[in-house]
Amino acid sequence: MHTATGWHVLCHTVSQTWRGLLSILRKLKNAPDQEVRILLLGLDNAGKTTLLKQLASEDISHITPTQGFNIKSVQSQGFKLNLWDIGGQRKIRPYWRNYFENTDVLIYVIDSADRKRFEETGQELAELLDEEKLSGVPVLIFANKQDLLTAAPATEIAEGLNLHTIRDRVWQIQSCSALSGEGVQDGMNWVCKNMNAKKK
Amino acid sequence: MTYFRLVPLLWRRRRLRFECRRRLSDWRKNAGIVKTADCVINLFWQLFFGFHGLLLICLAIHYIQKMFLSIWHYLHTTFFRYWLKWLIRQVTGKCELQRIFHSFIQGATRAIKTEYSLEASKSKVLRDALQAKEDTVDNHITQIVKQKKIQLEKDAEFKVNLKVCLLQICGYKKLMKNVEDLRKQVFDSENDEHEALLMKLWKLLMPNVELDSRISKQWGDIGFQGDDPKTDFRGMGMLGLANLVFFSEHYPEVARQVLSHSNHPKLGYSYAIVGINLTEMAYSLLSSGALKPHFYNLVPGSPQLEHFQRFYSYLVYEFDKFWFQEEPESIMLFNQYREKFHEKVKRLLQQPSVLLVLTLDSEI
């Protein structure tokens, strides 16, 4: 039993070494990726950090409320996505504007099951869309928490927030569950297709 | 490291050479000449002179080094260790456990060495002892004494020492399970116990202020995010709430002092949220085993939930001090400073004599 474990560890490390060397070769062949700055915003408890960790394929079971922000880089479709997840607590929303500069895509996350706060989240979104520094920036709205029975469908949220009145930029609403990962990839595909033209 | 000193020089040369190569390849493309050999040369060139190349060669050396280390580790654990142990046993007439107990006083070093010795043992009896429960410990000890043919008349302390170590090792595992169970309990507004605990937290922290209603903006005063704390416990579940209550109940003065600090106009932070965040820190330190030295030094038996919560209290008090010493520009830098604090605690926990207990500064 014991020798078997030792042997396994050895095999594992050797294979890791190979993988490491192979990844080096791969890196040599490919040019460095184009960097993209993506901002994740939304009310507290919308699921921004869960979404971030889901995108980075990290464990999502120990998440705590975000004080300040988290940042992660993810490789996707030849892009290096720098994702900024900013805390959504009311107290720190005034700080959001410090992160607007040079944003390529805005992802706005909504808790679809928290109907009581639809108005609040709509207001915050409207304010974001009025920001000069974010003018013309494509916006993806994630109607999150679709795994909950009480979640409102994306169409209902789009209607409630009057999304169809957005004319100054490309936008999309995508229903998803950051918990299960459903719909997240579809949203990110949209992001990669619609980021600012200069990046392509 | 010498590679890196060369980098600026090479970098300049590289840019020049790149420019030349680019022009050459442009010309070739225009002329319709593309050499396959070109690609190979390019790869070699990048590998040996480019900044990337140097970095990657260093990385490759690192990987290969790691592989050799692991081969050595494999040989050591499978062969050399046993030969050496056998030899020492023949010379001294003592088994490894006895030698550990004689060389180290009770505490982290002894318990950790015992744990490793049991884990790495070829004998199933010794490995099984690590799965002991509190009531089966004596049974396991008897079996080990028999297996290792230890003469108790020559080493009377052996049984007592082994028992303490086993209780510490197995108690840590049990504590991990208890903490995990508590963490997995989601805060549920329908559960009266959960609700009562939440109200208790309010009363402990704000004894002179009545809460208007269960859902109220006032929760923000003790550092929850919105009007209803139930969404703030998240991945820490009831463990987060239990810790907040424990700290306020057992260190009422300190808790109120920390709370008033957290309302500082410039350096303020959200008391409850940071508390839940620090619960995560304590939890991850426990799960990774980093807390072992602390508990092995603290309790000569199995550590209990209370000991874990006292460690949490230590973290809250120390983090508050750390935050005000560092004077961060704004709350947005929380995660950077949290990480710095985390590293500091981890470094402390690596010392064999570590004991992280909340001790008040005299100024309070």
pLDDT of B6: 62
The neighbouring-strand residues paired with A86 are A69
Residues of chain B neighbouring A52 (CB-CB closer than 8 A): none
Q: Which two tokens stand for residue A141?
A: 């709205």
Verify that B198 and B313 share a domain, yes or no: yes
Assign B173 to helix, strand or coil: helix
What is the CATH number for A9?
3.40.50.300
Verify that B206 and B343 share a domain, yes or no: yes
Is A65 in contact with B60 (Cβ distance < 8 A)?
Answer: no
Chain A contact present for B120, CB below 8 A: yes
In contact, B169 and B114? CB cutoff 8 Å? yes
Residues of chain A neighbouring B330 (CB-CB closer than 8 A): 95
Verify that B168 and B191 share a domain, yes or no: no
A104 is in an annotated binding site: no
Assign A28 to helix, strand or coil: helix
Strands A105-111 and A79-86 come out as unpaired
pLDDT of B27: 60
**Minimum distance, in Å, between the CA of residue B143 and any CA atom of chain A:** 20
- How many domains is chain A partitioned into structurally? 1
Residue range(s) defining the domain that contains residue A40: 2-199
Is B60 in contact with A92 (Cβ distance < 8 A)?
Answer: no
Verify that B179 and B201 share a domain, yes or no: no
Verify that B122 and B174 share a domain, yes or no: yes
Mean pLDDT of A130-156: 96
In contact, A86 and A67? CB cutoff 8 Å? no
Q: How confident is the model at residue A131 (pLDDT cuts 50, 70, 90)?
A: very high
Total-model pTM? 0.82
pLDDT of B29: 62
Measured between alpha carbons, how far is B183 from B181 in angstroms, rounded to an integer?
Answer: 5
Verify that B103 and B192 share a domain, yes or no: no
pLDDT of A53: 96
Each residue of A56-71: pLDDT tens digit?
Answer: 999 999 999 999 999 9
The neighbouring-strand residues paired with B61 are none
Domain boundary among B135, B151, B183: B183
Q: Whose CA is closest to A10, among B77, B74, B75, B68?
A: B74
The neighbouring-strand residues paired with A37 are A82
CA B285 centroid distance within chain: 3
Verify that B219 and B171 share a domain, yes or no: no
Verify that B124 and B223 share a domain, yes or no: no
pLDDT of A20: 74
Domain boundary among B158, B183, B208: B183
B342 in a structural domain: yes
pLDDT of B4: 60
Measured between alpha carbons, how far is B39 from B27 in angstroms, rounded to an integer?
Answer: 16
In contact, B49 and B10? CB cutoff 8 Å? yes
Measured between alpha carbons, how far is A167 from A165 in angstroms, rounded to an integer?
Answer: 6
B37 in a structural domain: no
Each residue of A75-115: pLDDT tens digit?
Answer: 888 889 999 999 999 999 999 999 999 999 999 999 999 99
Chain A contact present for B78, CB below 8 A: yes
Domain boundary among B183, B211, B237: B183
Nearest-10 Cα torsion for B345, B346, B351, B352 = 110
For the ranges A107-111, A160-164, A190-194, the one whose mean pLDDT is highest: A107-111
The list of chain B residues with pLDDT below 50 reads 1, 364
In contact, B226 and A44? CB cutoff 8 Å? yes
**Minimum distance, in Å, between the CA of residue B82 and any CA atom of chain A:** 12
Q: Which of residues 176 through 205 in chain B touch A, CB cutoff 8 A?
A: none
Average predicted confidence (pLDDT) for chain A: 89
- How many domains is chain B partitioned into structurally? 2
Verify that B334 and B204 share a domain, yes or no: yes
Residues of chain B neighbouring A13 (CB-CB closer than 8 A): 66-67, 70
Q: Which of B234, B269, B312 to mutate to test the interface with A (most CBs of A within 10 A)?
A: B234
Residue range(s) defining the domain that contains residue B237: 185-349
Long-range contact pairs involving B215-220 (C-beta distance under 8 Å, separation at least 24): B219/B272, B220/A90, B220/A91
Is A20 in contact with B120 (Cβ distance < 8 A)?
Answer: no
**Minimum distance, in Å, between the CA of residue B119 and any CA atom of chain A:** 9
B15 in a structural domain: no
Verify that B216 and B307 share a domain, yes or no: yes
Verify that B178 and B236 share a domain, yes or no: no
Active site residue A67: no
Which residue did the predictor score with more confidence, A72 or A8? A72
Is A67 in contact with B231 (Cβ distance < 8 A)?
Answer: no
Chain A contact present for B52, CB below 8 A: yes
Verify that B205 and B339 share a domain, yes or no: yes
